[in-house]
Homo-oligomer: A and B are copies of this chain.
Amino acid sequence: MAVMTNPLILKLERRDRLSDDEKKTLDNAFTRVRIVESDEDILREGDRPTESSLLLDGFAARYKIVSNGRRQISALHLPGDFIDLHSFLLKTMDHGVLALTTCRIATVPHATLERITDEFPHLTRMLWLNTLIDGAIHREWLTAMGRLSATAHMAHLICELYLRLSAVGRVESDTMQLPVTQAELGDTLGLSTVHVNRVLQELRKEELIRFQGDTLTILDWERLQEVGEFTSTYLSLRKEDR
């Protein structure tokens, strides 16, 4: 893979400088690229992977099934996201990961990650940071889920996805591709499909967004943030020494 097009490097460089050596090391760490088709599992609950997966292209979801078949999505992953960097140390997958679209995935052996942690302290911190941001997003989702109305929660999610996608160069002006069904949004927000639809209607009626097919356009960024009580601190988009 060419360094300049690796979306993980793009993502990390939004947060801190990487040396050329670090970039090369990171890029070379990925030994294999594979394709997973839409609606297939990338990883299953109970798996003990020996490599970690980086999403190069496509959308993926971490999910868990509870009794009576209900599903909760605990994370949405975009290009540049490490889907299961945590499996390097957690060992056993306690949830599955599903391809929401066709996904192009690069993998890095855990042995290589171990070597990086032995030899590249700063790069290690950057990978650690990457998982910490995932954690910060989880906390934010918990807050939104527990204490925001369904409409606010949806607005919040849209704001987040917009910024995360723009951080990896995937938005054009105010428009992003969001290939996620309303049922999947429901599983993400903890809502029924019917209510997701109601909430989207409301955001449309308020002229905050347009959402046709997979194309979501933000019509009023300021008010959308207000409705979703959104502030971006938790995404750590500032460049700092880490």
Q: Which residues of B contact A146 (CB under 8 A)?
A: 72, 145, 187, 189-190
How close is A120's CB to chain B, nearest CB, in angstroms?
A: 10
Interface status of A203 (Cβ within 8 A of chain B): no
Interface of A is mostly: helix
How close is A111's CB to chain B, nearest CB, in angstroms?
A: 12
Q: Which residues of B contact A145 (CB under 8 A)?
A: 142, 145-146, 190
Q: Which residues of B contact A242 (CB under 8 A)?
A: 89, 91
Interface status of A128 (Cβ within 8 A of chain B): yes
Residue total for A at the interface (Cβ-Cβ under 8 A): 49
Candidates B131, B140, B190, B234; contact of A147 at CB < 8 Å: B190
Q: Which residues of B contact A135 (CB under 8 A)?
A: 86, 131, 134-135, 138
How close is A19's CB to chain B, nearest CB, in angstroms?
A: 15
> Do the beta carbons of A141 and B143 come within 8 Å of each other?
no
CA distance A70 to B90 in the complex (A): 34
Contact flags (1/0) for A63-81 with B, using CB distance below 8 Å?
Answer: 0101100111011000000
Q: Which residues of B contact A72 (CB under 8 A)?
A: 142-143, 146-147
How close is A229's CB to chain B, nearest CB, in angstroms?
A: 6
CA distance A135 to B84 in the complex (A): 12
How close is A15's CB to chain B, nearest CB, in angstroms?
A: 9
> Do the beta carbons of B142 and A142 come within 8 Å of each other?
yes
Q: Which residues of B contact A91 (CB under 8 A)?
A: 236, 238, 240, 242
